[in-house]
Structure 1
Amino acid sequence: MKTYQTVILLCFFSMLFYNCSLPADDEEKRGLNGEDTITSELPWEGETDKFTINSKGIHLNDPQEDAGTAYVTIPSTSVKNTRWEFGVHLTFNPSANNYARFYLTSSSNILSGDLNGYYIQIGGTKDNVTLYRQNGEQSKLLASGRELMKGDSSPKLYIKVECDNNGYWTFWTRRESENEYVKEKQIKDTDIQTSRYCGIYCIYTKTRCKGFTFHHIQLSNDVETNTTPDETPDNPGTDLPDNPDTPESPELPEDVRGMLLFNEIMYNNATDGAEYVEIYNPTEQAIILPALYLYKMYESGTVYSTTILSNEESSDPLTIPSKGYLCFSKYPGKVIRKHKVNGENLIEITKFPALNNDGGYLALSSSKKPEKGHTFDTCCFRDEMHDSDNQKTTGISLEKKSPELSSLNKNWRSSKHATGGTPGIKNR
């Protein structure tokens, strides 16, 4: 029965999308205000309550009006010999906390979880369009486009992607003001050859919960099968000849907010444990810095203590891998024994500041001075933020419910782990 339903859906998509491409000339160009019956008629599923789907496309409209993520999918088994084309309009300039993904292929209809597939990312730490492959929870950058959204507070784009029979992926972009597509990059990748869904995934803060619109979404299966690269494929993993194993780090923008986030704080440790602060990298690239700076602040935001976070025993820079963790403590040995972790992501800081058991305020910065734009994240910690049934807080860390979201008080909870914390590893 499932096979029969799949065949019916494939036939439906073939008839609906076959050879449908956006016109290039001005007279026929379709913008955001044009009718888009194709997108609205697709069989969307998932978190449809967070979107408005009508003749103008599919628009994020989170009824909670809060920070979060949202996704919708449609069935699609297309990978090779396929063209994907869509328009996107953002009402803001994207950032590390506000960006979108269009999943070209996916093994799962839950785009917020582990899956195998390819996706186009719109924005992030840079104002460009990029192609990624995702295996489980790990994403690999395949190709980066021009920074066509830089300085644009309301970017309107069209994006076209093709995968041919030989596994060559090519993508193009076009601003609404441009008459023709600009070829961005091309790369061969055949790591994933099957799909079950394609879809849209938005990551946003409270002020952007209504700022995403996708429209004129089209697929077709008429791509030529004899593509050969006309230039050197984009491969970020091969441009570091001195140390090919070193991950690429993005150049820090003027405003680094959200590129690194607090993720776990042990401020009232057990006698056999130690205080620690854990950070998380929500971006798609490793971040490499010679040092970080941890501020202790008053509620007013005034800084009264600054601690340098660095590798004290070597000149190696700090490396926080994409979707990875780094934890700092004065006594990493105690942390390892207490919480039964391997210590791979623990850094010893001999001058690690004492954290007040009554709570406090912290900030993480790329600068020794609290300058505008250099602060990655700020957070509060206090007993009232715990959610333990027995109200016990000694020896139990505060951890993020959703690591990729902002450090609002309601995004914290008591660690559920049997040891009271998960320093350097995923919250459990």
Structure 2
Amino acid sequence: MNILIYYQKINLFYVSMWLKIFYNNTIMRFILFLLLFSPLLASAQITDNFSDGDFSHNPLWTGDTTEFTVNTSQQLQLNNTTAGASYLSTASANSFLDNTEWHFYIKQSFSPSSSNYARVYLASDKANLEGPLNGYYLQFGETGNLDAVELYRQTGLTSTSVARGNNSAIALSFAIGIKVTRDTIGNWNLYVDAAGGTIYALQASGNDKTFSTSNYFGISTVYSASNATKFYFDDFYNGAIILDVNAPIIVSSTVISDTKVDILFNEHVDITTSQTVNNYSANNSLNNPVNVFRDSINFGLVHLTFANQFISELKNTLTITNVRDLSGNGISNINIDFIYLFISTAAFNDLVINEILFDPKIGGVDFIEIYNRSSKIIDLRSITVSQYDTVNNVLTGVSGISKTRRLIFPKEYLVLSENGNAVKSQYNSYNPNGFLDLSILPSMNIESGTICLATGTTIIDLLKYNEDMHFPLLNETKGISLERINFERITLDRSNWHSAAEAVGFATPAYQNSQYQNPSKTDNILEIIPEIFSPDEDGMND
């Protein structure tokens, strides 16, 4: 008996020593923690981007399930036919609200109001989001035209504002990204990306710690019949606050003028480091900018101004270092290139009409091909295409070529039409990027007409065409374009135009014409007039 007690004491001694070593070892305690709690940590979040095409599992959403669908863009979309109210909810990621983050995408393709709005419930003690409950929600829509994203606490049926975003930010249809965080003492932060991405800007803060737990997360919608399919949701996250440990990434560089360039980052950057001129340096003797300031609205956008002018068409390399995001993560010697292009005003015959199709095939469309015969880079926002009234000498049926910046470079071909894809489907398309669709192309009569390129009321080029300009031996001209022969000869010269060759498919949209003649060789061209002759000595076309 005494021997047994002795061995028991020895065993207890070694066990106690092992436990003491184990629990005094920080690493071992951490491993034990991970082994015990990692399954809980891994599951303590909700993420759903609906890429699986449903909302019936991973996670399971319940509620008015027949009134929602996952659309072809893999977004959760309201899908009803009559006016009403619909909701979906899912179990909360974590029952505690401390140190929690929510983010998601929401779109409402109508102007919201007090009778057409969405709510996203960040926390609720009830699965049914249409009755009394305790929790917090964001509302997207209200009476009047000051609609803002607003965070509310709901107690039973009573709602109390906690934080309100910018007035009128969602007064019209919108598609935005949202992020909300709450810390351990009830501080709430509301962030919005007005472009629908994840470059969030802080819009509002508030404090409320009335409720500290949650059972459900979800959405609710109130709508008229005309808006019963116009609510969209995507990319839900509900879980622990995601810590930013990544340095900012340069998204793009945009040249503003011959001394200014804008740099866009993928997140907001710190005002001090982003406005330090020594953190930016460019080659080609540009050196450091003389002025740098972070945009007052988009904190991910930085404006740089240099003392020396950029040289047109020369590639510059900008090196950025030590610029930090709002979490303190810094960039280290990242390069981005930018090129300044000197944009010139188009003068007479800088741009010329080079090919036209005014009698298209069945299923086809008219087109006008223009060509930049100058050495200039021209912005087509300043150019119009129209008909020309030769009696009153005025432009008619005027259409702007482009509402946004569209440059045409020297020796570039560009086809204007109402449906470039239709043109490419019927003819060879060696330059698929050389097409620009216009909402309205000036009408082109089959028998005859005029086409004019202009800037304001100043004519750049003018063509008077007639179906008789086609090669006279053709039995059929439908679907056959008229091509310019020589860029250096005037556009109004009828002999400078010819039907496109059969060998190329009767049109050459956006590339060199089949009837093209090198301007340097025009002096050696033998021209036979008339094209059709009968050497029978009858005095007619001999």
State the TM-score, normalizing by the size of structure 1: 0.43
Higher relative CO (Cα under 8 Å, sequence separation at least 6) belongs to 1
Question: Which structure has the greater CA radius of gyration?
Answer: 2
Structure with the higher fraction of residues in helix conformation: 2
